[in-house]
């Protein structure tokens, strides 16, 4: 059984439904990527999994436990972590304080985790006392991912982590994400840069108009001519 099971999700923000019978699964230590055209409901699917919008049918199961009716905060306690696309750091607080806030719910010693984050993103160690708002776009994304990792999540969800960063920084971020996955954390990611994302994906979901269109391993999807033609620009 998959670590994360999100099945038959149908719902939206109150008006018309955006998701229609959408299914997403993620395995332990693997990277799952949701790609698709603009307005396909990629981010919406992720928010539904995190409990930020109501789905009126379908269910979300994490590690065998049904969490469909939990609030986002309660899902954090269950081992989910979410990195929003924008406004994902505390700008007037230092890098170190940002990480501390990520671990707000933990009562044990957080220094070990913090050092792990610093090992993953060495630049943050140098800038630990600088305000997050003063960092470059790529460094801010690292702070955002680092903050999410401080809760010691089992499932890390990233909403377009590479939006607005340069190609070099993007490659670096993807490398970091692979490293995170190696520590037995499941990763679920929404990406605009479909080709690069599917390259590192164990599993890919191509979404169109709120439903799954193609589901396979990243490699197969990259080689699927139809996917290439419609979604990867040839």
The residues that touch another protein, with contacts defined as CB under 8 A, are 72-73, 76-77, 82, 84, 87-93, 97, 100-102, 104-105, 147, 151
Query: Which one, 39 or 133, has the nearer CB to another protein?
Result: 133
| Distance set, CA 15 to CA 8, 19, 21, 48 (Å) | 19, 12, 17, 15
Cβ atoms of 183 and 156 closer than 8 Å: no
Residue closer to another protein, measured from CB, 2 or 88: 88
> How near is the Cβ of 87 to another protein at its closest, in Å?
6
- Residue closer to another protein (CB basis): 44 or 88: 88
Could you identify the residue written with the tokens 């990480």?
Answer: 99
Phi-psi category of 47—alpha, beta or left, where left has phi over 0 and alpha has psi -120 to 50? alpha
Report in angstroms how near the CB of residue 144 gets to another protein at its nearest: 9
CB of 40 to another protein, least distance (A): 23
Q: Decide whether 36 or 84 has the Cβ nearer to another protein.
A: 84
Which residues are CB-contacts of 127 (< 8 A; sequence separation ≥ 6)? 95, 135, 139
Residue 161 DSSP code: T
User: SS3 helix, strand, coil % of the chain, rounded to 5?
Assistant: 40, 25, 35
- Is 192 in a helix, a strand, or coil? coil
Question: In this complex, which beta carbon is closest to another protein, that of residue 148 or of residue 173?
Answer: 148
User: Do 160 and 190 contact (CB within 8 A), yes or no?
Assistant: yes
Among 20, 78, 3, 1, CA closest to 210? 20
Among residues 93 and 222, whose Cβ is nearest to another protein? 93
């Amino acid at each position: 059984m998959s670590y994360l099971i999100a099945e038959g999700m149908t719902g939206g923000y109150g008006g018309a439904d955006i998701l229609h019978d959408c299914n997403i699964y993620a395995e332990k230590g693997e990277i799952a990527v949701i790609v698709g055209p603009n307005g396909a409901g990629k981010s919406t699917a992720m928010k539904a999994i995190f409990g930020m919008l109501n789905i009126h049918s379908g269910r979300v199961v994490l590690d065998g436990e049904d969490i469909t009716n939990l609030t986002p905060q309660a899902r954090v306690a269950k081992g989910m972590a979410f990195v929003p696309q924008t406004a994902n750091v505390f700008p007037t607080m230092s890098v170190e304080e940002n990480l501390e806030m990520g671990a707000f719910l933990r009562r044990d010693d957080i220094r070990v985790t913090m050092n792990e984050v610093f090992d993953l993103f060495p630049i943050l160690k140098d800038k630990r006392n600088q305000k997050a708002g003063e960092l470059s776009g790529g460094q801010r994304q690292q702070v955002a991912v680092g903050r999410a990792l401080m809760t010691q999540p089992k499932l890390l969800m990233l909403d377009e982590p590479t939006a607005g960063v340069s190609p070099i920084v993007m490659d670096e971020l993807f490398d970091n994400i692979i490293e995170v996955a190696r520590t037995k954390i499941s990763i679920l990611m929404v990406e605009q840069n479909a080709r690069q994302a599917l390259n590192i994906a164990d599993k890919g979901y191509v979404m169109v108009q709120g439903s799954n269109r193609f589901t396979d391993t990243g490699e197969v999807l990259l080689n699927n001519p139809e996917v290439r033609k419609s979604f990867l620009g040839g």
